[in-house]
A and B are shown apart, each in its own frame.
Chain A
Amino acid sequence: DAGITQSPRYKITETGRQVTLMCHQTWSHSYMFWYRQDLGHGLRLIYYSAAADITDKGEVPDGYVVSRSKTENFPLTLESATRSQTSVYFCASSQDEQYFGPGTRLTVT
Chain B
Amino acid sequence: QKEVEQNSGPLSVPEGAIASLNCTYSDRGSQSFFWYRQYSGKSPELIMSIYSNGDKEDGRFTAQLNKASQYVSLLIRDSQPSDSATYLCAVNVDNDMRFGAGTRLTVKP
Interface residues of chain A, those whose CB is within 8 Å of chain B, are 31, 33, 41-43, 45, 50, 90, 94, 96-103
Contacts and interface: CB of A to CB of B under 8 A. Distances in A.
A43 B92 contact: no
B43 A102 contact: yes
A37 to B, nearest CB: 9
Q: Is the interface of B mostly helix, strand, loop or mixed?
A: strand
Residue of B42, B45, B46, B97 most packed against chain A (CB within 10 A): B97
Contacts of A43: 44, 88, 99
Q: Is the interface of A mostly helix, strand, loop or mixed?
A: strand
Given A90-B43, A98-B34, A99-B46, A31 B102 contact: no
Contact of B90 (A41, A98, A101): A98
B46 A98 contact: yes
Contacts of B42: 102-103
A100 B32 contact: no
A103 B38 CA distance: 12
Contact of B100 (A31, A42, A94, A101): A42
